[in-house]
Structure 1
Amino acid sequence: MNATQDKTTKLRPEDERLPLGRTIAYGLQHVLTMYGGIIAPPLIIGGAAGLSSEEIGVLIASCLFVGGLATILQTVGIPFFGCQLPLVQGTSFASVATMVAIVNGGGGIQAVFGAVLAASAVGFLIAPFFARIVRFFPPVVTGVVITMIGISLTPVAANWAMGGNAKAENYGSLENIGLAAATLLIALLLSKLGNAAISRLSILLAMVLGTVLALLLGMADFSKVGQGALFAFPQPLAFGWPVFELGGIISMIIVVLVILTETTADILAVGEIAGTKVDSRRIADGLRADMASSIVAPFLNTFTQSAFAQNVGLVAITGVKSRFVVTAGGGILVVLGLLPVLGRVVAAVPTAVLGGAGIVLFGTVAASGIRTLSKVKYEGNLNLIIVATSIAFGCLPIVKPDFYDAFPTWFGTIFHSGISSAAVMAILLNLLFNEMKFGTPKKDASVFVAAPPRMVREEEVRSLLDGDHYEAGKLIDANGEEVPVVSDEEFKQALEQHQQELAGVGIRVPAENTGHRAKGSEFKHA
């Protein structure tokens, strides 16, 4: 059992256990959501290294296998390893540019593995330090980071919707974009259905139906599924022993710092979405699992591992917070790594279908961040400046990818990520405006300190009934029904309408009954 658990953890939202069938279905939905992202790095790096298609296939299978093991470690957890949250692990896209540069520098794929191994060891040692910065992630910071995760992933969804391969003749065609739009429409319609099970599986079902539509239109090709081996275990050190080059290691250490920052943000984001407590120890356990998986990865022919931000959106949109669902997804990834034929089936899903699903998924992440920012107090402080500057700064490398081309490589590596850019800026500005005392009255030094003392007006207490309680941001009555919270004007309008309806059936309401919620026992028949 993980060191972060105690006797009360059974009540955590992420510890919910669903029926086996639903668990596997939701887990598959997670796999399909991140599949395109996890196979992209080996395709890019293998191509840059001049590997054959068979060798690139080895890289892909290894990425799936190790990503599955890392996901299981992260979600199930053992002492000191794993944050026990619904986070999918996989090959980090943040390291692709650096690894391609190492390959082009003459070191080959072995130098990439050596740099990953050494940098991940450094990341493992400094993981506890990163865990201690959680106090510098108040809602004004986490809201910015979560919003930027969604915004920064939007170009990925757009590229998928256009076809995924910019060199293809039909890239950006109306057919591809139309297929993505159809998949998006299916997902929205399924989400609208009253059946909760179908609504929660809307993304998976939309992908399946989108693929069927693509087959009918001749836009999907499953002819190569039967080609190749049915079963293959990833061969350790299939490309030889890692080679250690100082320049590559230094560059990769910078990438690892970015990965640690982004994984910390993802842990905080999924914790916010799941409505569960995330402390420094839990973050440290998650980061150690991240780096331990990255240390093992080079020996199994793959690269740095990190949490996948797009799957955070899936947790938000489906409302399925169980970490065991993601554990099932990790198991599916392991199977895909051992059974290349299944991987070829998933790989045959048209990229445009993934793009349609990605639009709503990544948008949901941004919306979750906006919801977090809505909880921030903006009066009497400079939180609005923090949010505005951080989001705009984070958008720079997204809207203008070559913005940092003239900067030193190490600087560009860090700030080329919109997530990292926004996180760094938000943390620094929060320190400047909310933590440092000079220039700001002490009472306004923090967004939390600036909040007024907690008080409840007497008339509000009188309107409550026995059994009323506050749960997940909502007022719930004794019967489990939500009690609407409205403005004074909305209350007056609703009360007048209610009185008119009662008068129409011969029921009068006493004049004194004008509290925030009328009690049924005070109504009298005329």
Structure 2
Amino acid sequence: MKTQISNPKALSLGLQHVLAMYAGAMLVPIIVGGALGLSSTQFAYLIAIDLSTCGLATLFQMWRNKYFGIGLPVVLGTSFVAVTPMITLGKEYGLTAIYGAIIVTGLFIILFAKYFSHILKLFPPVVTGTVVMIIGLSLIPTGVKNMAGGTSNPHFGSAQNLFLSLATLSIILVIHYFGKGFIRSIAVLIGIFAGTVLSSFMNPLNFTTVKDASWVHLPMPFYFGVPQFEIVPILTMLIVGIVIMIESTGAFLALGDITKQRLTSKDFERGYRAEGLAFLLGGIFNAFPYSTFAQNVGLVQMSGVKNRRITIAAGFILVFLGLVPKIAALATLIPTAVLGGATVVMFGMIVSSGIKMLTTVDFTNQSNLLIIAISISLGLGTTVVPELFSSLPSFIKTLFGDGIITGSLAAILLNLLISQKGKPVETAKDISLASQGGH
């Protein structure tokens, strides 16, 4: 029996999801727009259309029908995997070539979603649990950097930033421990709000961005010009699309486990096709490639609220914020340290989900231990030392420069190569019996 949630509660919980992913959703257009030298007008459009497209992409994934939509409580946001390729391609080929490549990739994912959905046999529990753990572990360094104020902050690691992040974290934990029902489910939202208010007593909030933002900003197809279709940008973006699908597979599997839903190849097919539609939308409206946001997976796990109405509300909120930039700009008042204190909890919850999934794995098999050990080492290692593949060709760096992808591919390949071939680990009882038999 599904729990009924009132509209006000659904909006509150949806807003919590929006705030959880807002920093990531805003950061990508800021990085790409700044690197490509966009004007202030173009910058404003890029941020606004990004929020609206995040919302529409989320609603596509929620609209479960015969053709697309996985129907899990997912929130889609701009993919960080696409940042470096978009900047590189934009400087060499121009913005119109980027969006032509994104459109082609979206069509590719839509057409081949059925075939990608048959890779489920590559994801037994030892792989799925490891991949989900890697997703969480790879995100934790970002959360910790945000706790210190963000890498670009001149006061990185200051006592004030650490105090704000730890205070936010403490508020969330206190509410989660002592709170009940709805209050407990919005612990992250309350923590972010309280942390921002606390910050205002230390440093007055700067409302300049809010004042400068416009009230209405409507989407425009092909805002940066008619898309161009160049072979190198298309091939690069196809690699990005495949990488994003692998990431989303881990997120789908984690949510399936959290919501106690057994996912079929048909579910994955619809999920992939919805992401292809999100790519297509991003290309047409000159936004970005989109993928399932892992921090929102952690939020579902932490809040314990799995109702799809929540993420549907989040989708509509994002669309609204994109259309009304002045309101969207209010979220820029939240200090990075406060967001860090909130997200580090959610990233840790993703790790916990992975550990939970691994409890069904046979740990007496040495092969399983090797798969987990090597995959996590490579995934986390690449995240901490991203320059590991710096001397390799750009398309290989795109594929392996992301710790989540490196670790995930390692888990999949190792499972295919060595699974079931390892000898069981000798337990203390085995050794004792063997020694007795030798006397």
Which band: TM-score by shorter chain? over 0.9
Deviation at 1:348, TM superposition (A): 1.7
Deviation at 1:40, TM superposition (A): 1.2
Deviation at 1:223, TM superposition (A): 4.0
Deviation at 1:226, TM superposition (A): 2.7
Which of structures 1 and 2 has the larger relative contact order (alpha carbons within 8 angstroms, sep 6+)?
2
The answer to whether 1:274 aligns with 2:283 is: no
The structure 1 residue matched to 2:407, chosen from 405, 418, 422, is: 422
Q: 2:365·2:422 contact (CA, 8 Å) conserved in 1? A: no
Q: What is the 5 A alignment of 1:178-189? A: 178-189=163-174
1:358 aligns with 343
2:378 aligns with 393
The answer to whether 1:250 aligns with 2:258 is: no
Cα deviation code 1:49-102 (max 9, x no counterpart) = 110122111001101111101101101223211000001012111110111111
Q: Distance in 1 between matches of 2:244 and 2:148?
A: 28
> SS at 1:233's partner residue?
coil
> SS at 2:291's partner residue?
strand
2:216 aligns with 231
Deviation at 1:291, TM superposition (A): 0.7
Q: For residue 246 of structure 1, what is the amino acid of its counterpart? A: I
Moved over 4 A (4+): none
Q: What is the 5 A alignment of 1:130-279? A: 130-164=116-150, 166=152, 168-218=153-203, 220-279=205-264
2:80 aligns with 93
1:109 aligns with 95
1:125 aligns with 111
Identity of aligned residues (%): 38
Q: 1:127·1:284 contact (CA, 8 Å) conserved in 2? A: yes
Q: What is the 5 A alignment of 1:72-83? A: 72-83=59-70
1:496 aligns with none
1:29 aligns with 16
Q: What is the 5 A alignment of 1:420-499? A: 420-434=405-419
> SS at 1:56's partner residue?
helix
* 1:182–1:113 Cα change, 3 Å: same
Q: 1:48·1:103 contact (CA, 8 Å) conserved in 2? A: no
Cα deviation code 1:81-138 (max 9, x no counterpart) = 1000001012111110111111222x22222111211222222222222211112211
Q: Distance in 2 between matches of 1:336 and 1:197?
A: 24
1:402 aligns with 387
Q: Distance in 2 between matches of 1:186 and 1:337?
A: 30
Structure 1 residues without counterparts, runs of 5 or longer: 1-10, 445-526
Q: Distance in 1 between matches of 2:386 and 2:412?
A: 23
> SS at 2:67's partner residue?
coil
Q: Distance in 1 between matches of 2:208 and 2:178?
A: 34
Q: TM-score, normalised by structure 1?
A: 0.78
Q: For residue 65 of structure 2, what is the amino acid of its counterpart? A: I
The answer to whether 1:47 aligns with 2:47 is: no
The structure 2 residue matched to 1:343, chosen from 312, 319, 328, is: 328
Deviation at 1:350, TM superposition (A): 1.3
* 1:117–1:361 Cα change, 3 Å: same
Count of residues in correspondence between the two structures: 424
Q: For residue 266 of structure 2, what is the amino acid of its counterpart? A: R
Q: 2:36·2:91 contact (CA, 8 Å) conserved in 1? A: yes
2:278 aligns with 293
Q: Distance in 2 between matches of 1:71 and 1:219?
A: 34
Deviation at 1:215, TM superposition (A): 1.0
Deviates more, 1:216-225 or 1:130-139: 216-225
Q: TM-score, normalised by structure 2?
A: 0.93
The structure 2 residue matched to 1:310, chosen from 282, 288, 295, is: 295
* 1:380–1:55 Cα change, 3 Å: closer
> SS at 1:278's partner residue?
coil
Structure 2 residues without counterparts, runs of 5 or longer: 425-439
Q: For residue 215 of structure 2, what is the amino acid of its counterpart? A: L
Q: 1:143·1:373 contact (CA, 8 Å) conserved in 2? A: yes
Cα deviation code 1:480-499 (max 9, x no counterpart) = xxxxxxxxxxxxxxxxxxxx
Cα deviation code 1:437-480 (max 9, x no counterpart) = xx569xx9xxxxxxxxxxxxxxxxxxxxxxxxxxxxxxxxxxxx
Q: 2:128·2:250 contact (CA, 8 Å) conserved in 1? A: yes
Cα deviation code 1:244-285 (max 9, x no counterpart) = 221111111111110111111111111111111111100110
Cα deviation code 1:10-42 (max 9, x no counterpart) = x6xxx6541111111110000000001111111
* 1:440–1:114 Cα change, 3 Å: same
Higher helix share: 2
Q: CA-atom RMSD, angstroms?
A: 1.7
> SS at 1:224's partner residue?
helix
